[in-house]
Amino acid sequence: MTVSESLDSIVRIAESVRSGGCSAEAIARETLSRVEAREPSVRAFLHVDHEGFVAAARAVDAKRARGEELGLLAGVPIAIKDALCMKGVPTTAASRILEGYKPVYDATVVARLRAADATLVGKTNLDEFAMGSSNENSAFAPVHNPWDLSRAPGGSSGGSAAAVSSRMCLGSLGSDTGGSIRQPASFCGIVGVKPTYGRVSRYGLIAFASSLDQVGPFATDVRGAARMLRVLAGHDPHDATSLDAPVDDYEAACDRPVAGLRVGIPREYFGPGLDPEVDMAVRRAISCLEQYGCTVKPVSMPHTKYAVATYYVLATAEASSNLARFDGVRFGLRKEPDHDLRSMYGATRDAGFGPEVKRRILLGTFVLSSGFYDAYYLKAQKVRTLITRDFEAAFQEVDVLCAPTAPTTAFRLGEKTHDPLAMYLSDIDTLPASLAGIPALSVPVGLSANGLPIGLQVMAPHLHEARAFAVAAACERHDALHVGAPAAFP
C-alpha cells in the first residue's frame, strides 16, 4: 500500500503502520508536503511542529522495529486546536494576549493521543478563545473553507475542521461549547463529535465557559472519529467534572445494526430560517435510516426557542470569570503601566483581547452584576433545566434525535461579521444539546446545488455515544448520502 493510499482514513493509516505496510515517518513527510502545498490557501494552522512531528513518527517506527505493540492511532497525523495546551509548543487560543506562551504540560487529551502513538502535526486556528461561529475572530487570520475558499469553515474550531477537510491531517481535536465542533464539521463536510459533558477530560483546555466546554474529535469518517473518541474518553482525576464511567467500544458500535431504533425528529429544528436544501438533505438521510429499519417519530421540544438567549447569558457570564486570569502578570502579553498596576491590567487587556471577546466579557459582567443576577443569570439557569428536561422527555419516546446540524450551508467570509445576532443564530441547532450536556455528532449527508456540504446532527442520551455512532455509520454507508472530499483537496 502506498502512502497516498493510506492517507484517506484514520483506521487505514493506523492499521497500515501497525502491520508494517507503511512507515509512520513516510506518512509524516507526505503530510508535511500536503501542508506546504495547501496551507497557504486554507490558513488552518497557527503553528506546524515540523521537528516534533517527524521525531514522533520516527519513534513510532522504532517502537515497531523493537517488536512492541503499537497504539490504536499509530502514525496517524492529528492536529490540535490551539485552545489545548501542548508542552513546549506555542498555545495562544488565537489571541494576542497569549502570544508567545508555551505551556509546560500537555492537556490530558494530548497526552492520550501521544500514548496511542498518534503523531501531532501542530496547532490549528480558531475564533479567539473559542468565541465565534466562523473563525473570523482569530487575532491572526481567518480560515478558509476547503470546499469554497471564499466561505467560512465554521467556528470556533474552524482550523481543526478545515485541516481535516483539506486532508492536511486525518484527524484533529476541537472544543465544543455551543456547537464549535459540530457546526464546522457540517460546513466542511467531515465528522465532528461533541461527547457527553464530562466524558472527555477538559484538563489543559483554555476555558471559555466551564459548564459547557467539551473536547472532541474531527475525522474524515465515522469510524475514525469513533476510534479517536475511544482513545480520548475516560476518567481523569485532574478534571473535577470528569465522569468515572466505563468507556464503550465506539468503533465496534459502527458495525451495529440500527434496525428497530426509534429516531425522533424534533419539530422545532425544522422551522423558519432553515435552508430548503438543508431541510431536503436531512429528510433524505432520515428516510435512508427508515430503509435500514429505523422507526421515525416526530417529537416536540418546546423550550428549544429559548436556547440562544439562555446560552448567551450563561456562556458570557462564565467567560467573564474565566478570562479574568489574563492580566499581563503571569504569562502572555504585558503592557507596561503608565503609573500603576490597575493601568497595566487595563492596557494589557485592551491590547490583548479582540472585539468579540471584549463584547462577551462585557455581556457576562453585566448579567452577573448586582441587580441583574436574578433577572438574567439565575433565570437562564432555570431555563437550561427546562431544555434538559425536554431532552429527557424526548428520550423516553425515542432512542436518538436527528436534525440539521446548522440551518444553512457555509456562509461567505465577511457576510455576518457586522451582525453579531445573525452570527449567533448560526448555532441555533447545536446550542440545545450543549446546554443539556448530551452527546451529539455531525455527519455529512449531502451537498447543496452549489457543492457545499450539509450535516445531519445525531443526538443521544447521556453516555450513549455508541448509539449515535451506529446511526451515523449507517448514514455514511448509504450511497445516496456519500459526500467525499473537496475536489481541490483529494
**Across residues 349-368, what is the average pLDDT?**
95
pLDDT of residue 340: 83
Pick the more confident residue, 5 or 258. 258
235: pLDDT strictly greater than 60: yes
Instruction: Establish if 144 belongs to a structural domain.
Output: yes
234: pLDDT strictly greater than 90: yes
pLDDT of residue 421: 86
Which residues are identified as catalytic?
Answer: 81, 156, 180
pLDDT of residue 7: 66
pLDDT in tens, 425-474: 889 999 999 999 999 999 999 999 999 999 999 999 999 999 999 999 99
Q: How confident is the model at residue 5 (pLDDT cuts 50, 70, 90)?
A: low
Instruction: Establish if 116 belongs to a structural domain.
Output: yes
Contacts of residue 351, Cβ cutoff 8 Å, sequence gap at least 6: 96, 97, 333, 335
Pick the more confident residue, 6 or 168. 168
Q: What is the mean pLDDT of the chain?
A: 95
pLDDT in tens, 120-167: 999 999 999 999 999 999 999 999 999 999 999 999 999 999 999 999
User: Count of CB atoms within 10 A of residue 99's CB?
Assistant: 14
pLDDT of residue 336: 81
pLDDT of residue 1: 47
pLDDT in tens, 390-423: 999 999 999 999 999 999 999 999 999 989 889 9
pLDDT in tens, 416-435: 998 988 998 889 999 999 99
**Across residues 190-203, what is the average pLDDT?**
98
Locate 484 and state its grid cell: 467525499
pLDDT of residue 212: 98
pLDDT of residue 479: 87
Instruction: Establish if 203 belongs to a structural domain.
Output: yes
Instruction: Establish if 461 belongs to a structural domain.
Output: yes
pLDDT in tens, 265-283: 999 999 899 999 999 999 9
Q: How confident is the model at residue 339 (pLDDT cuts 50, 70, 90)?
A: confident
Min mean pLDDT across 250-254, 341-345, 374-378 is at 341-345
pLDDT of residue 476: 96
HEC per residue, the chain: CCHHHHCCCHHHHHHHHHHCCCCHHHHHHHHHHHHHHHHHHHCCEEEECHHHHHHHHHHHHHHHHCCCCCCCCCCCEEEEECCECCCCCCCCCCCHHHCCCCCCCCCHHHHHHHHCCCEEEEEECCCHHHCCCCCCCCCCCCCCECCECCECCCCCCHHHHHHHHCCCCCEEEEEECCCCCHHHHHHHCCEEEECCCCCECCCCECCCCCCCCEEEEEECCHHHHHHHHHHHECCCCCCCCCCCCCCCCHHHHCCCCCCCCEEEEEHHHHCCCCCHHHHHHHHHHHHHHHHCCCEEEEECCHHHHHHHHHHHHHHHHHHHHHHHHCCCCCCCCCCCCCCCHHHHHHHHHHHHCCHHHHHHHHHHHHHHCCCCHHHHHHHHHHHHHHHHHHHHHHHHHCCEEEEECCCCCCCECCCCCCCHHHHHHCCCCCHHHHHHCCCEEEEEEEECCCCCEEEEEEECCCCCHHHHHHHHHHHHHCHHHCCCCCCCCC
| Domain of residue 41, residue span | 3-300+393-481
Domain count of the chain?
Answer: 1
**Across residues 310-337, what is the average pLDDT?**
91
Q: How far apart are CA 455 and CA 140, in angstroms?
A: 28
Instruction: Establish if 266 belongs to a structural domain.
Output: yes
Q: How far apart are CA 187 and CA 235, in angstroms?
A: 31
pLDDT of residue 6: 56
**Alpha-carbon dihedral sign for residues 263, 264, 267, 268:** negative
User: Which CATH number belongs to the domain containing residue 292 in this structure?
Assistant: 3.90.1300.10
Instruction: Establish if 436 belongs to a structural domain.
Output: yes
